[in-house]
Amino acid sequence: MKLLNISAIVMFCVACSSPQTEKIDSLSRAFDGKFTIGAAIDTSIVNGLRPQADSLVKKHFNSIVAENCMKCMYMHPAENQYFFDDADRFVDYGERNNMEIIGHCLVWHSQMAPWFCYDDKGELVEPEVLRQRIVDHVTTIVSRYKGRVKGWDVVNEVVVEGGELRDSPLSKIMGEEFIYTAFEAAHAADPDAQLYLNDYGMDNAGRRDSYVRIIRELKNRGLRIDAIGMQGHLGMEYPDVAEFEKSLEAYAAEGVKVMISELDMSALPYISRSANVGDTVAFMKKLNPYPEQLPDSVANIWNDRMATFFNIFDEHSADVQRVTAWGVDDGYSWKNDFPMKGRKEYPLLFDRNFQPKPFIRDIINRANEAKN
């Protein structure tokens, strides 16, 4: 009789901890079956220097993207010199933790190695030289991580507001051909890797139309294009939610997926220029209004707005494949130094004490209620 009781208790406990009844306690699990939840991580996390952020990544995220270490200036600092150590460790980290690994970014005018578009005399190279450099760069990097990186931001930020091709050394030399060269080389190097176009300000109608055109052009040329990365560097007053959603729908209508690839939301006043802390005190106060902590009144608006965006992602989950935050915790966001150095920002999903912002708790609670 005693024995029977014990086995009944054991069976009861097994049932309690079975996957069906286990409580959801993470953001990525709350969106299981809809989209993955990513974080941009840098070497500090990969190298174990920020254990609290590391724990959050392991608990809440099932996708990672390289915040910096795969960019041209770090990976390919001179024509015959590659540096793979940091990117290798980043990819190992993702594999060790069973995460989807995203490569960012193969061709970008910014954080590009200074030699890339120039000859020994400092002149722009001929189109054929640049074409070959792009092919070598893309082929070397994509082949190295073949079968390990799920998808690549192949080109980044190639269109400006209004829809024109961005004026950069790349476009000066090759027009928009550099885009197609990069996609072709990436696909040849890893035919199974997903390939993405990535940009910010995607609510802009001109950009929207331009990317629709580029998607069609890629397809016309028989090139692979899997998704558009809508970066999603948001603010309290921009973008217009309906315009953002319109772009998401326009891309989905072209038959590609959408990634929200660099999500954060500035809680501070918008500034369009780079400025320095050395400017006047009054100026600083106005632009850096919460040097201690974010007042509840502002935090609540931030939280509601972020919840609104997550609702949109959820509603469009048939088309949205991934939502990636550009960082983990507020204390370590690039927004603390951009577009102005030294502001105290509050843009990410977790605060400076590594606590989830309230909307995350709501999402997780709702996911648990929906299960019951």
Compute the C-alpha angle 183/132/226, nearest 5°: 5
Phi, psi for 261 (deg, rounded to 5):
-100, -15
Judge residue 291's burial from the number of C-beta atoms within 10 Å of its C-beta, 0-12 exposed, 13-18 middle, 19 or more buried.
exposed
Catalytic residue set = 157, 262
Strands 63-66 and 257-265: unpaired
The residue within the footprint of ligand XIL, chosen from 68, 204, 210, 247 (CB under 6 A), is 68
* Other Cβ atoms within 10 Å of 278 Cβ, number: 9
Residues in the chain: 372
- Site residues for ligand XIL, 84-113, by CB under 6 A, read none
Q: Which two tokens stand for residue 197?
A: 């176009």
DSSP for 202-213, written as a single string: TT-HHHHHHHHH
Smallest gap from Cβ 74 to ligand XIL, in A, equals: 10
The residue (of 283 and 338) whose beta carbon lies closer to ligand XIL is: 338
Which residue lies nearest ligand XIL, judged by its C-beta?
334
- Site residues for ligand XIL, 212-231, by CB under 6 A, read 231
- Site residues for ligand XIL, 140-169, by CB under 6 A, read 156
Binding string to ligand XIL for residues 228 to 247, with x set by CB under 6 A, is what?
A: ---x----------------
The residue (of 184 and 262) whose beta carbon lies closer to ligand XIL is: 262
Smallest gap from Cβ 55 to ligand XIL, in A, equals: 21
Q: Does 67 bind ligand XIL (CB under 6 A)?
A: yes
Phi, psi for 177 (deg, rounded to 5):
-60, -25
Q: Does 190 bind ligand XIL (CB under 6 A)?
A: no
Smallest gap from Cβ 346 to ligand XIL, in A, equals: 16
The residue (of 210 and 333) whose beta carbon lies closer to ligand XIL is: 333
The residue (of 54 and 67) whose beta carbon lies closer to ligand XIL is: 67
The residue (of 94 and 327) whose beta carbon lies closer to ligand XIL is: 327
Smallest gap from Cβ 108 to ligand XIL, in A, equals: 7
Q: Which two tokens stand for residue 49?
A: 């220097």
Closest by alpha carbon to 348, among 271, 262, 273? 262
| Residues with Cβ within 8 Å of residue 75, at least 6 apart in sequence | 69, 82, 83, 84, 87, 141
How many Cα neighbours within 13 Å face the side chain of 27?
29
Name the DSSP letter for residue 215.
H
The residue within the footprint of ligand XIL, chosen from 54, 203, 262, 330 (CB under 6 A), is 262
Count of positions on this chain that bind ligand XIL (CB under 6 A): 6
The residue within the footprint of ligand XIL, chosen from 334, 351, 358, 368 (CB under 6 A), is 334
- Interface residues with ligand XIL (CB under 6 A)? 67-68, 156, 231, 262, 334
